[in-house]
Amino acid sequence: MPELPEVESVRRSLEPLVLGRVITRAEVRRRDFCVVLAEKNSRGASPAEFLENARVTRLERLGKQIAIVAADGRSVCLQLGMSGYVDSTRGDDPAHTHAAWTLDSGERVRFVDPRRFGGLTCYPTFESLRERQWAELGPDALETTPEHLIEACRDARRAIKAVLLDQGVVAGVGNIYADESLFLAGIDPRTMARRVAPERLARLAESVRLVLARAVELRGSTLRDYRDPSGQPGSAQTAHAVYGRGGEACVRCTTTLRSCRVSQRATVWCPSCQRRGSLSSR
Ligand SMILES: [Zn+2]
């Protein structure tokens, strides 16, 4: 499942292709996949709504969503879901291409999603996209601040990891980077959020930014892979400290890493480096 670093690397690799370009043809293959949100329900988008004859001026990102913004305001929000990706290779469209843009450069950009958990949503303006779709998201995880996290945890009677995974609190933290950030900050993922001391939360905010920024750089260094026929963004595996390493030795202290489920998500932590009860200052 693409997390923030993968989505940011998709955004960065799209920029040189589409910025300043005019979309000469917009194709909507699956009308249930490329939609316009009406008042109560959604309907399939037309080519015009899907940016036909628009000049692309900006690519924005919030959390795991990307917005393609045109000069006249028309905007499309991309959600990669579980298996979605953007393909710009030459040659035939890959299987499961649900929508495609042809640019005045002759290049072709497709949205491919075999499992169809992702989607594209069209808006007449970027402001309407932000109001309708991004208002419910918290600030971007790369800009997590101590103040914001402390406020979000003040009365939170749920595990600190559950707070991190809540896209309404911070946008873009998924399972991998929640575990990695909590390890870096030395906090047991099961700790009730309101019991984590403010100074620890400040450290956690810093850890979230650090872990994600590092992952963005790693993905960024493998952008070339994005152009592979598979269309998958950067394939280099990040050296995870805890994620996926339950039962193995902690990289810091060699204690055996433990695993359990928090908020139905597989969770790994070091019982020695990551503390629980002793953190409480309230
Ligand atoms: Zn350890």
19/62 same-domain check: yes
Question: Cα(137)–Cα(116) distance, rounded to whole angstroms?
Answer: 22
Q: Which three-class secondary structure state does DSSP give residue 13? A: helix
Spacing, Cα 241 to ligand 1 middle (Å): 10
93/170 same-domain check: no
Which of 106, 134, 162 is a domain's end point? 134
> Average pLDDT in the 174-188 region?
96
Which of 134, 168, 189 is a domain's end point? 134
Task: Give residue 26's domain range.
Answer: 4-134
Spacing, Cα 103 to ligand 1 middle (Å): 51
Active-site residue (options: 3, 49, 52, 180): 3
118/155 same-domain check: no
> Average pLDDT in the 271-275 region?
95
177/264 same-domain check: yes
119/185 same-domain check: no
161 is catalytic: no
pLDDT in tens, 183-192: 999 999 999 9
∠ at Cα 30 (28, 110), nearest 5°? 55
Give bridge partners of residue 69 from the DSSP assignment: 58, 75
Burial zone of 143 (CB within 10 Å; 0-12 exposed, 13-18 middle, 19+ buried): middle
Active-site residue (options: 55, 58, 195, 265): 265
pLDDT in tens, 117-132: 899 999 999 999 999 9
25/51 same-domain check: yes
2 is catalytic: yes
Domain count, the chain: 2
Per the document, the length of the chain is 282
Which of 91, 117, 134 is a domain's end point? 134
In CATH, what number is assigned to the domain containing residue 64? Answer: 3.20.190.10
The radius of gyration computed from the CA coordinates of the chain, to the nearest angstrom, equals 20
Spacing, Cα 187 to ligand 1 middle (Å): 11
Cα 237 to Cα 12, 78, 108, 181, 281: the distances in Å are: 19, 24, 28, 17, 38
129/145 same-domain check: no
64 is catalytic: yes
164/247 same-domain check: yes
Helix (H) / strand (E) element for 20: namely none
Mean pLDDT of the chain: 90
pLDDT band at 236 (very low <50, low <70, confident <90, very high): very low
